[in-house]
Structure 1
Amino acid sequence: MALFFTGAVWMSPAQAGGNGLSIEAQCDAAAGSRDDRTRNTGFAPIENGGIKLGIALSACREAYKAGGNPRIAFQLARALEQGGQLLAAQGLYREAALQGHSAAMVRLGRILQEKGDPGGAFALYRRAAEDGDPGGAYALGLAYRDGIGTPADARRAARWLDTAASGGYEIAALATEPPHKDGATAGAGSR
C-alpha cells in the first residue's frame, strides 16, 4: 500500500490520463508523423489526414503547455493544420523549425511555397536536407528539378533525390525517373 501511495505522489501532473500514458506520450500516440526523425517510435505513425483531432489537440496542447519540445510543437501543428487552423499551425511549424526540427522545416517550406514564397521554401528545404532529413532531401531535389526558389539544376536534383531515396524516402526514386514523352516526370504530382 505504501508503494502505491509513493507512486501516486511521484506521478507528475503531465502523466494524468486514464490510459497511464504521460500527456507527451498521448500526443506522440495521437499525432506522431512518419516523416519525423524524432518521433517516439513506441507508437505507430499517424498518416496525414488520419489524426483523431479531439484526442490529438487535447493531448498535444497540454503537452505543449507543460513545456513541449519541438517534436510536440510539430505534432500540435499537424493536428491544427488538419483541423483547418493553418495560421496557428504555421506559427508552431516555424517555432519548431527555428529550434532545428527538420520535419517542421519541410512542412513550413511547403506552406511557404504554396503561399508564393519559393525562396523561403528553398532555404528551409536546404536546411532540412543538409541536416540529413530524407524528406528535406526530397523537397530540395524537387526544388532543384523544378526551379523552385533556385535555378533548375538536374545534377543537383538527382543528387538530392538519390540521397532521399537512399535515406528511405521511397517516392524519391520515382522523381528521378526520366521525363515521359510529354515532358512530365513521374514524381511531379507527388509533392
Structure 2
Amino acid sequence: MRTTRTKTAGIAFFIATTLIATVPAGPAGASGLSIEDQCDAAAASRHDGTRNPAFPPIEDGQITLGVALSACREAYNSGGGVRFAFQLARALEQGGQGLAAENLYREAAEGGHTVAMVRYGQLLQRKGDLAAAHALYRQSAEAGDRLGAYALGMSYRDGIGTASDAGKAAVWLDAAAAGGYEIAALVADFPQAPDAPFNGAQ
C-alpha cells in the first residue's frame, strides 16, 4: 500500500513539475513573443515606416481588439514610445474609444510619429480646425512620409487650411506616388476625379 502511494505521489510530482516547466515565464506571455512584438503583430499599420517588419501589417478594421488593446496598452505603459502610442490609438479607435484614441494620436504626433501626424490632422480636419490639420500634413510630408505627402497634396488641391494651389498639390501628390502610395498617382493623373476615401493613415 505504501509503495502504491509512493508511486502515485511520484507520478503527481512529475506531472506538476512538467506542467510548471511548460508555462512561459516573464513578459513574453502565452505566445512566446515579447509584449512589444505582440503589439506589433496585432496593430501595426502598413503605412508606418517604423513598424517591426517581422510581422505583416494589419489593415484598417482588422485589428483583433482583445489582443491589441492588452498588448499595446502594456507596451505603451512600459515606456515603449510613440509607435506603441500610435498602435494603441488604432486599436482604441476601432473599438469606438474616440477621445482616448485622439489623445494618443496627438501624443504620438507630438513625439514625431509621422503617420500619427496625418491621423491626428484628419481628426482636426473633421472638427473644422483646418489650419492645424494642414500644418500637421506639412510636418509629416516634409519629414519624408508618403502618407503625409498625399495629405498635403490633397490639402493644397482642395484648399484645406490653405489657399488652393494646383502646382503645390501636384508636387506633393507626385512625391506620395513616388514613395509608393498608389492612390496619389491616380489623383495626380485625374485631379478632378472624386477622391478615394482617405482612411489610409490607420
TM-score by length of 2: 0.84
Displacement of 1:68 in angstroms is: 1.7
Higher helix share: 2
Q: What does residue 120 of structure 2 align with?
A: 108
Give the residue type in structure 2 aligned to 1:163: A
Corresponding residue SS for 2:141: helix
- Does structure 1 retain, via aligned residues, the 8 Å contact 2:183–2:196? no
Query: Are the equivalent residues in 1 in contact too, given 2:43–2:68 (CA < 8 A)?
Result: yes
Distance 1:90 1:103 in 2: 13
Alignment of structure 1 residues 43-122 onto 2, 5 Å: 43-122=55-134
Q: Which amino acid aligns with 1:47?
A: E
Match of 2:193 in 1: 185
Number of paired residues? 176
The one-letter code sitting in structure 1 at the alignment partner of 2:174 is D
Kindly provide the amino acid, as one letter, of the partner of residue 86 in structure 2: F
Is it true that 1:129 corresponds to 2:141 in the alignment? yes
Measured at CA, do residues 19 and 12 of structure 1 come closer, stay the same or move farther in structure 2, by a change above 3 Å?
Answer: closer
Query: Deviation digits for residues 148-170 of structure 1, max 9, x if unmatched?
Result: 00000000000000000000111
Q: Provide structure 2 residue ranges, at least 5 long, that are not aligned to the other structure.
A: 1-20
The separation in 2 between residues aligned to 1:162 and 1:97, in whole angstroms, is: 24
Identity of aligned residues (%): 65
Q: Which amino acid aligns with 1:107?
A: R
Partner SS for 1:176: helix
Distance 1:146 1:126 in 2: 15
Amino acid at match of 1:185: A
Find out whether 1:142 has 2:154 as its counterpart.
yes
The one-character-per-residue Cα deviations of 1:103-160 (angstroms, maximum 9, x if unpaired) are: 0000000111111111111000000000000000000000000000000000000000
After TM superposition, give the deviation of residue 177 of structure 1 in Å. Answer: 2.1
| Corresponding residue number in structure 2 for 1:39 | 51
**Higher-RCO chain (CA-CA 8 Å, sequence separation at least 6):** 2
Distance of 2:126 and 2:53 partners within structure 1 = 30
Q: Structure 1 length normalisation: TM-score?
A: 0.88
Question: Aligned partners of 1:50, 1:124: CA distance in 2, in Å?
Answer: 26
Q: Distance in 2 between matches of 1:65 and 1:26?
A: 14
Tell me whether 1:172 sits opposite 2:179 in the alignment: no
Give 4+ residue runs of structure 1 displaced > 6 Å after superposition.
Answer: none
